[in-house]
Amino acid sequence: MSIAPKTNLGRPANLAKREAILVAARDAFFEHGYGAAAIEQIAAAAGVSKVTVYNHFSDKQGLFAAAIERECERMRSHFSIEGDGTTSLRDRLLHIGHAMVAFLSRPEMVQFERRIAAETERNPEIGLAFLNAGPRRMKATMATFLTAISQSGALAIPDPALAAEQFAAMCKGFGNVELRFGAPPSAQSTQRRVEAAVDAFLNIYGGGR
């Protein structure tokens, strides 16, 4: 089954409708999960017809993938390859680390991931759609960022994709486990964890630079 969204954009009115559909889909999927979210419900919340939804997206999985991609754009905006010339690499990594942890720690995101994990047992395609539209795209974005940093000479990173995994894992740490089992870590412990993760990352790939 295809999960690629259609790209039927064109006029500003179509763009506005598409955005309204994505917002409604995001809310429905996050609140109810994939299986319980109905296209009719999403269309009504967006103020469009069911036919309009299908004119913009190939099917329910296509809409799901597009909604996840849109949500992850909020996180990808923190990955600035160029930088502003005044912010240190450590501060840039701290910014990314804190933004990532905050993004993933939102109560609605934790609930959504639980729902998707449960639904994946019945329908593995849903889990794969989520992985491809969300976590794997985020990993690729971070790897691209780290590739540029390595090419600039600031760090020496032989495998940016692996380094992206390591960075995310260190920033989330055991606090991520606690969060998902009802014991969210304090802001102070999260700050210490992210700072330690960034310093360890710089020591591994740049000798503390």
Cα–Cα dist 167/155, whole Å: 14
pLDDT (tens digit per residue) in 149-159: 999 999 999 99
Cα–Cα dist 137/132, whole Å: 6
**Phi and psi based region of residue 89 (left: phi greater than 0; alpha: psi -120 to 50; beta: remaining):** alpha
**What was the pLDDT predicted at 82?**
60
**What was the pLDDT predicted at 72?**
81
CATH hierarchy code of domain 12-68? 1.10.10.60
Indicate the pLDDT class of residue 69, thresholds 50, 70 and 90.
confident
**What was the pLDDT predicted at 78?**
65
pLDDT (tens digit per residue) in 190-209: 999 999 999 999 999 995 44
The dihedral of CA 146, 150, 206, 78: what is its sign? Answer: negative
CATH hierarchy code of domain 78-206? 1.10.357.10
SS3 content of the chain, % helix, strand, coil (to 5): 75, 0, 25
The b-or-e profile of 18-29 (16+ CB within 10 A means b, else e) is: bebbbebbbbbb
**What was the pLDDT predicted at 2?**
41
CA-nearest of 182, 6, 176, 8 to 97 is 176
**Mean pLDDT within 11-36:** 87
Topology alike, domains 12-68 and 78-206? no
Cα–Cα dist 61/129, whole Å: 7
Domain spans of the chain, in order of start: 12-68, 78-206
**How does DSSP classify residue 66?**
H
Indicate the pLDDT class of residue 123, thresholds 50, 70 and 90.
confident
**How does DSSP classify residue 9?**
-
Highest mean pLDDT among 34-38, 41-45, 85-89, 116-120: 41-45
